[in-house]
A = this chain, B = another copy of it.
Amino acid sequence: MHFELTKEYLEELKVAVESNAEAKVLELIEGLHAVDVAEILDEQSTKDAKAFYTLLPEELAADALVELDEDTREKFLDTISSEEIAEKIIDNLDSDDAADVIGELSEKKQDEVLSHIEDLEQAGDIIDLLNYNEDTAGGLMAKELVRVKIDWDVATCIKEIRTQAEDVEKMYTVYVVDKNDILQGRISLKKLLLAPDSQKVKDIYNEEVILVKVDVESEDVAQIMDKYDLVVIPVIDEIGRLLGRITIDDVVDVMREEAEKDYQMASGISENVESSDSAWSHTRARLPWLLIGLFGGVLGALVIGVYEEQIRIHAGMALFIPLIAAMAGNVGVQSSAIVVQGLANNSLGLDGLWKRLFKELIVGLINGAVLGLIIFLYNFVFSDDLTLTFIVSISLVAVIVFAAIFGTLVPLMLNKYKIDPALATGPFITTVNDVFGLFLYLYIGYLMYAV
């Protein structure tokens, strides 16, 4: 029922494309959506993809281009002339997608493409959109929408909507504006359909409309649309004029990217790397975090080096180094992840910093007490060094409490200073907690063996 790409399918398609059997190709892609076609193109070699692409119907080709991976799209656009981009691709796209595609071109090629767009209104819309930062509402919005004037009657509305709707693929809602184009509210198609022809818009429109200003950040747009379960949201300028609208599909992408970014941070991956990317991309995305880990490891070695003599005498202390380091890391990651997730979905609640840290203290103490007791019993039974038994348990509790509080504090601080709190998860917090945990353990050991 839904398209599933297989190696066999790719092979069959390749043969058909190579033998230039257009009818066979069209048969193979029958019923496919642009996103399926993009999936095929992403899996093909550039040469095969290019040959296949030229056989596609124009509109499908344009839509598929929008759905491609950015890297693949860039390669593609390089091989297409500015004139073709303007006439075959841009002409078939909504203003937001068109602006995204053009925005990826070089300055020079942008100008060329824009000069080849025949519909001057479309070209103007695209230029307007290119001026917005892509991480704001302006960068997400499309100009295509249906608007009616507040003093019209229903019959006029329906006539006007028929004209405007030709440019708008999906209507969702009709916006109501005044004579200065200031957004006044909205009216559903359903209501227009149910109302008598002579009814005035101003008597039946809905004044309550959730909207965003054009310079609001994408993340905030996503949060608002998610919170209020909106499918579409209008975008206004500083004085309230209706500029465009953002639809949920674009915002779902923003939400997914945010979630993936946090996940990658927590896992120590610094770029948006996918499993199918090259070994080199993987190395580049992963090595920086491992360098942090290595640096932490060297710091750890320095800390232990200070107590090397102590370990030579009490070699048993070495046994629990990994335990202390691992627990410090795990607790820190837990605490920071909870804060980062709370910040991401706005569910931190109204508690102040001290209350939050106090709760972490309690959680750390409970967890520390349970785990400290277990390790105490283990060592009490299996170790003949009672001092070491105490050292390990006491250190474990101290390390867990410290890591919990530190893991909570750091992302909150980063967030306060407008730095991405997700930086605090993953390798960074693990490394800092590792090193400090080790120091705590060895110092407690030093004190207690000295007794």
Contact = CB atoms under 8 A, between A and B. Distances in A.
A363 B286 contact: yes
Nearest to A208: B31
Nearest to A359: B279
A327 B252 CA distance: 35
A413 to B, nearest CB: 15
Given A171-B189, A304-B319, A330-B289, A211 B349 contact: no
Give chain A's interface residue range (CB within 8 Å of chain B).
35 or more
B43 A350 contact: yes
Interface in A307-324: 308-309, 311-312, 315-316, 318-324
Contact of A311 (B213, B275, B296, B315): B315
A121 to B, nearest CB: 20
Given A279-B366, A323-B300, A193 B268 contact: no
Contacts of A92: none
A256 B263 CA distance: 12
A58 B165 CA distance: 37
Interface string A223-252: 010111101000000000000000111001
A168 to B, nearest CB: 8
Interface in A129-173: 158, 161-162, 165, 168, 170-172
B371 A294 contact: yes
Contacts of A33: 210, 228
Contacts of A298: 323, 375, 378
A208 B224 CA distance: 32
Interface stretch (A72-80, A112-120, A427-435): A427-435
Nearest to A210: B2
Contacts of A256: 226, 255, 259, 345
Contacts of A321: 304, 318, 321-322
A276 B31 contact: no
A333 B267 CA distance: 6
A28 interface: no
Contacts of A286: 331, 334, 363, 367
A79 to B, nearest CB: 23
27 contacts: A5-B350, A7-B350, A33-B210, A165-B193, A171-B190, A231-B248, A248-B248, A255-B255, A259-B259, A259-B263, A260-B345, A268-B337, A275-B348, A276-B349, A290-B330, A290-B334, A290-B400, A291-B371, A297-B320, A300-B326, A301-B320, A301-B322, A308-B315, A311-B311, A311-B318, A312-B312, A322-B438
Given A189-B189, A275-B349, 8 more contacts: A5-B350, A231-B249, A259-B263, A264-B337, A276-B348, A283-B367, A291-B371, A311-B311
